[in-house]
Amino acid sequence: MTFLGGVYVSRKVFIPHGCPLTLRYILAVICLSAKGFACPKSCHCSERNGLTVVQCSSRNLEEIPSDLPHNTVSLLLSSNHITKIPNQAFKNLPWLQELDMSRNAIETVDAGAFQGVTESLRALDLSHNHMQSVPKEAFARLHAKISLSNNPWHCECTLQEVLRELRLDPETVNEVSCHTAVQEEYAGKPVIQVLDSGINFCNFHHKTTDVAMFVTMFGWFTMVIAYVIYYVRHNQEDARRHLEYLKSLPSSSQISKDFDTISTVL
């Protein structure tokens, strides 16, 4: 919007027409992009090689800030009260390399939580949260070193398939333990140790499915047999009653004798 004597490029910045063209252009670019580098109110931002480090740890946050600087390279969100990482939570952070969300209360990670940062992210810390499981798609194509230690994991087929594709932090890999498992004997043991011993949780899943199918089929078969038995017994009872009824009727010879007796009397 143009005014007499200059140009407004934002609500607060006015560039006079008297400024050199190059300077005016630089000021305009800086002002128009200022919003992309603004720091969230609850966080502290610092500069690293021309990019931004956003420090939001221990700020009592319950969700991921939505107004993060576009050039964020490191986002520190540890020790808050965040419970969920929603779809495309970091889609506007193409430079993000480090993400620390440890010591929160995260229970849910949506399938598309890390869309937009799969190529750039180098370190992801989700330790000390409340995660029991995650969808296979959540960490798809992530190249980051990931820490998943000290979560109440439920060890089953999906978790096994997720871990198989990840680059786990070697320093904390033995702290990724089964809090519960499809087989109780593995609860409390490190997941990697269990898998390295040759255990395949997906086999347990298939066996459980097979048993469930067998039980279902057996139930249906039992119902069919019970119905057939009921039908036969019911028909037998009807047949017996019909036979007794027929027996109770007078025979034709008896009727003939009775008729002859009546004729003689007459």
Architecture of domain 37-198: Alpha-Beta Horseshoe (3.80)
The model's confidence at residue 232, banded by pLDDT at 50, 70 and 90, is low
In this predicted structure, the answer to whether residue 111 has a pLDDT above a threshold of 60 is yes
Residue 96 Cα distances to 61, 78, 104, 131, 137, angstroms: 20, 16, 20, 23, 20
The pLDDT confidence band at residue 37, using thresholds 50, 70 and 90, is low
- Residue 99: φ, ψ to 5°: -135, 115
- Residue 208: the pLDDT is 46
- Higher pLDDT, residue 16 or 246: 246
Tell me what pLDDT residue 1 has. 39
Q: Which helix H or strand E contains 6, and what residues bound it?
A: strand 6-8
Burial class (CB in 10 A: 0-12, 13-18, 19+), 148: buried
At residue 29, the pLDDT reads 40
Between residues 69 and 203, the one the model is more confident about: 69
Q: What's the pLDDT score for residue 261?
A: 58
Average pLDDT over residues 99-103: 98
Q: How far apart are CA 94 and CA 138, in angstroms?
A: 18
| Least confident interval from 57-71, 96-110, 195-209, 215-229 | 215-229
Minimum mean pLDDT range among 45-59, 81-95, 185-199: 185-199
Cβ atoms of 181 and 187 within 8 Å: the answer is yes
DSSP H or E run through 53: strand 51-55
pLDDT of residue 3: 37
* Spatial distance between the Cα atoms of 81 and 88, rounded to a whole number of angstroms: 19
The predicted pLDDT at position 101 comes to: 98
pTM of the model: 0.66
Please report the pLDDT score of residue 102 as a whole number. Answer: 98
pLDDT digits (tens, 9 = 90+) for 148-184: 999 999 999 999 999 988 999 999 999 999 999 998 9
pLDDT bucket at 26, cuts 50 / 70 / 90? very low
Q: Which residue has the higher pLDDT, 198 or 229?
A: 198
**Domain ranges in the chain?**
37-198, 200-243
